[in-house]
A and B are shown apart, each in its own frame.
Chain A
Amino acid sequence: MDHLDQLENDSIYIIREAYKEFKDIAMLWSIGKDSTTLLYLVRKAFYGHVPFPVLHLDTSYKFREIYTFRDTWAKQWHLNLVIARNKDALARKVRPDAGNKLTCCGELKTEALKQAIKEHGYRAILLGIRRDEHGIRAKERYFSPRNNQFQWDYKNQPAELWDLYKNNESAEEHIRVHPLLHWTELDIWRYIQREKIPIVDLYLAKNGKRYRSIGCEPCCSPVSSEADTVDKIVEELKTTSISERSGRAQDKERAYMMQKLRSMGYM
C-alpha cells in the first residue's frame, strides 16, 4: 500500500469501527473538501451506501454554490440529509460582524450541532477534522474514541488521545470520531485528485483567486492563485507554505488578539 492507500485504509477501518460500536451515529458534512472526502470514504466503507444520517449545519450565510452542490450530491448518493439550524440565533439576527466572529461560529454552528444531537439522540458524530489544522480550532477539539471502545486507537492515534482519557471532563454526551486525523491538506487534495472526488468549484481559481477553505460567505476571503484544476492545486500546495486557513482563522485571531490586548490596556 502506498501512502494514500494507507491513509484510506486506516480511515475506513475507523469508520467501520464507529458504525459497529455506535448504531446511533451521524456524520457532519460541511460540504467542504474534507468532509466530502470523508463522505466518499464512508461510501467506500459501506459498499456504496451511507447507512446513517448526514448532518449539514446551515448558518444560512453559506455561498450559493455550496447549497447547489449539497442538493445535487445528496440526491445522487441517496443521502439521508438532515439540515440543522440554530433557529433562535438566526431569529436574533446573529451575524458575523467585526467584533463577534468567534461567537457567531459558536452560536450558529456549535449550538446548532448541540441542538441537533439532542433532538435526534445521536450517540456519535463522524467529523472530517485533520490534525494539521491550526488556529482556534485546535482548542475546541476533543476526541473519541471514548475510553472502552476502540482497538485501533492506540496504534494510530496521536497522543492527545491519552490526554483526553485523563481529562475526561467533557460535558457533551456524544462521541466525536475523526477518521481523517492523520491526513494533511496535501493528502486530501492528492486523494481527491486520484479518486476524482467531486468538490465545490469555489476551490478552483477564477479571475486569479480561489478559496482555500470555504464556509460562510462573510468570513471567507480568497487567496491569489491561478490553480483552476485539482491537478494545479496539488502542484501549488507542494510549493506553497501559506496556511490553509489564512483567509479565515488568522483574520479572526488577529481581531480577537487586538481586542484582548486593548482590554488589558496594552494598546
Chain B
Amino acid sequence: MNDFPLKLVITGHVDHGKSTLIGRLLFDTGSLPDDKITEIRQICSALGKEFEFGYILDNLEEERDQGITIDTTQIFFSSKKRHYVIIDAPGHVEFIKNMITGASQADTAVIIIDAEEGIREQTKRHAFILGMLGIKKVIVLINKMDRVGYDQERFTSVKNAYLDFLNEIGLHAIQSIPISASNGDNVATGSSHISWYQGPTFLEALDSFEVPNSLKNAPLRFAVQDIYNFSKRIIAGKVVSGTLRQGDAVTVLPSGEKTQVRSLEEYLRNPDSAETGKCIGVMTTDKIFCDRGYIFSDPRDTPAITQQFRANIFWMDKISCKKGQQIIFRCSTQEANGKITAIHTVINSSTLELMGSDTDEIKNREVAQVTIRTDRPVIIEPHTKTPELGRFVLVTDNVSAGGIITEVLL
C-alpha cells in the first residue's frame, strides 16, 4: 500500500449531501472505530432522533479535548488499495483560506450535485474557486439518485450541463458518477438500482486516480534560512524542491554564483542526500556570499527572478486592501516590500459571488486575482511547479493575506 494518503477535498452546495457522503464512505470502508459510531447512535437516541450518516462527519471534526479549534479537518479513511485523507473545512472561508495558505493541499477535488435539484449557482462557483486554487481535475458525483427514481435521463442531462460548464472554465472531470449516499449506491459498493451505469464506483474511481508526481525528482531548490558560525560556517536552510545531494553543482540566486555542495551537515552526521522538506545545513566548496532568502538551484533549471507576478490571494484583514498600498511580501525565507498594482477580479468567499472586476479594493475574506510588484527582485515560481516558492503571505500590521502565484511576469 502506498504510504502517503491521497488528499481530497469535497465540495458542493451544502444541502447536496456532502456530510452524508463522507459518513457513508467512512462507514462502508470500515474506517471508523466502532465505539465512535455507537456513541453517536446512543446520543441520537438520547435526543430522540434518527441516526443519520451526516452526524458522523459532523463529529469527526471535533477533538475530544476542548479548547482546540481546528480549521482543517482531516478525515482519514482507507480502501484496500490506498489511504485517503479528506481535507474538509466547516465553510467556504476556511476551505479557501487553508487551500491558499497551504494548510491543506488537495490532490484532487470531488464535486457533489443533487440529481433532483440540479446545478445551483454555488455548484458553479465551487468549480471556479477550485480552478483558482490550482486544481484542474475533478470527480463529479450526482447524488440523491434515489430521489429521482435512479433515472438515467436525469443523470445524463445534469451531467452534460455541468461538463459544459467545467469545460468553459478549464476544468476536467475525470469521472461523473451517479450515487446515492444515504442508500450507499455506487459510493463504496455497486448498485443493482443503477444497472444502466457501467462505470466505476466512487471508491474505485479514487483508487485508480493517479497521484501526481512528488517533488522528489523536481529541479533542486534549497532556501537559505540562516548562516551559523558556531565552529564552522554552515548554511542552514530547507530543501523546497528536488533532492539535495553531496557533490551537487548549484547556482546561488540571486547572485548567480556557481559552486558545489561539499557536505551536508546535521549534528554529528553528514548524510549524503536530503529530500524535499528536509531542513539541513550545507557547506560549499567555494566561499560564496549568501544570506537568508537566497536560493540554491539546479543550474539547468533555475526559478525566475522577477519583480512582477500574478497571484490569487485571500484577504483576511478586517482593514480592506486598497490597490497600490504598501505591503510586505514574504515567500519561503524571502521578504520584500511591494504593492498590489492591479486587482483583476474579487470574489466573496462565503457566497462565491463575483464582487467586482478591475476594482480598487479587496475586503476581509474576499479572494482576488491580482498583480503584485515588489520593490526588489524575488525568486519565485508558479505554485503548480514549486509550491513553496509559489506561496506567500502579505503583511501590513498583521498577516493580512495568503496567496498563490499563478504567473510569473518578467
Determine the chain B residues whose CB is within 8 A of the CB of A47 once the complex forms: 228, 230-231, 234, 265, 267, 281
Determine the chain A residues whose CB is within 8 A of the CB of B265 once the complex forms: 47
Partner of B402, one of A134, A154, A157, A158: A154
Q: Are B399 and A46 in contact (CB under 8 A)?
A: no
Complex CA–CA separation, A159 to B97 (angstroms): 10
Answer yes or no: A106 CB below 8 A from chain B CBs: no
Q: Are A157 and B103 in contact (CB under 8 A)?
A: yes
Determine the chain A residues whose CB is within 8 A of the CB of B332 once the complex forms: 151
Q: Are B230 and A132 in contact (CB under 8 A)?
A: no
Answer yes or no: A256 CB below 8 A from chain B CBs: no
Answer yes or no: A217 CB below 8 A from chain B CBs: no
Within 8 A of B (CB), among A132-190: 132-134, 138-139, 141, 147-148, 151, 154-155, 157-160, 162-163, 165, 168
Answer yes or no: B126 CB below 8 A from chain A CBs: no
Determine the chain A residues whose CB is within 8 A of the CB of B198 once the complex forms: none
Q: What's the minimum C-beta distance from B386 to chain A, rounded to whole angstroms?
A: 14
Determine the chain A residues whose CB is within 8 A of the CB of B94 once the complex forms: 159
Complex CA–CA separation, A127 to B97 (angstroms): 27
Q: Are A158 and B68 in contact (CB under 8 A)?
A: yes
Number of interchain pairs (Cβ within 8 Å): 96
Complex CA–CA separation, A132 to B65 (angstroms): 7
Chain B residue with minimal CB distance to A139? B67
Determine the chain B residues whose CB is within 8 A of the CB of A168 once the complex forms: 398
Chain B interface: which of A16-24, A26-34, A63-71, A198-206? A16-24
Chain A interface: which of B16-24, B114-122, B272-280, B298-306? B272-280
Chain A residue with minimal CB distance to B223? A151
Chain B residue with minimal CB distance to A48? B267
Answer yes or no: A1 CB below 8 A from chain B CBs: yes
Partner of A147, one of B71, B226, B399, B402: B399
Instruction: Given the known inter-chain contacts A47-B281, A157-B103, A159-B70, please indicate yes or no for A20 contacting B226, CB distance below 8 A.
Output: yes
Instruction: Given the known inter-chain contacts A16-B225, A159-B71, please indicate yes or no for A9 contacting B278, CB distance below 8 A.
Output: yes
Instruction: Given the known inter-chain contacts A20-B226, A46-B228, A48-B230, please indicate yes or no for A12 contacting B279, CB distance below 8 A.
Output: yes
Complex CA–CA separation, A155 to B391 (angstroms): 10
Answer yes or no: A43 CB below 8 A from chain B CBs: yes
Q: Are A155 and B398 in contact (CB under 8 A)?
A: no
Q: C-beta contact mask, B204-234 vs A, less than 8 Å → 1, else 0?
A: 0000000000000000000001101011001
Answer yes or no: A260 CB below 8 A from chain B CBs: no
Determine the chain B residues whose CB is within 8 A of the CB of A151 once the complex forms: 330-333, 393
Answer yes or no: A87 CB below 8 A from chain B CBs: no
Answer yes or no: B101 CB below 8 A from chain A CBs: yes
Determine the chain B residues whose CB is within 8 A of the CB of A134 once the complex forms: 65-67
Q: Are A154 and B266 in contact (CB under 8 A)?
A: no
Answer yes or no: A131 CB below 8 A from chain B CBs: yes
Q: Are A16 and B226 in contact (CB under 8 A)?
A: yes
Answer yes or no: A194 CB below 8 A from chain B CBs: no
Instruction: Given the known inter-chain contacts A49-B230, A154-B102, please indicate yes or no for A165 contacting B399, CB distance below 8 A.
Output: yes
Instruction: Given the known inter-chain contacts A47-B228, A159-B70, A162-B71, please indicate yes or no for A147 contacting B278, CB distance below 8 A.
Output: no
Answer yes or no: B236 CB below 8 A from chain A CBs: yes
Q: Are B267 and A43 in contact (CB under 8 A)?
A: yes
Partner of A44, one of B226, B267, B398: B267
Determine the chain A residues whose CB is within 8 A of the CB of B275 once the complex forms: 1
Answer yes or no: B328 CB below 8 A from chain A CBs: yes
Determine the chain A residues whose CB is within 8 A of the CB of B101 once the complex forms: 154-155
Q: Are A131 and B68 in contact (CB under 8 A)?
A: yes
Q: What's the minimum C-beta distance from B292 to chain A, rounded to whole angstroms?
A: 7
Q: Are B277 and A9 in contact (CB under 8 A)?
A: yes
Chain B residue with minimal CB distance to A243? B65
Determine the chain B residues whose CB is within 8 A of the CB of A12 once the complex forms: 279
Chain B residues in the interface with A (C-beta under 8 A): 65-72, 94, 97-98, 101-103, 225-226, 228, 230-231, 234, 236, 238, 265-268, 275, 277-279, 281, 292, 316, 328, 330-333, 393, 395, 397-399, 402
* Pairs of residues from A and B, 10 with the lowest C-beta to C-beta distance, nearest first: A159-B71, A138-B67, A134-B65, A154-B101, A147-B398, A148-B395, A155-B102, A44-B267, A20-B226, A13-B279
Chain A residues in the interface with B (C-beta under 8 A): 1, 6, 9, 12-13, 16-17, 19-20, 43-49, 51, 131-134, 138-139, 141, 147-148, 151, 154-155, 157-160, 162-163, 165, 168
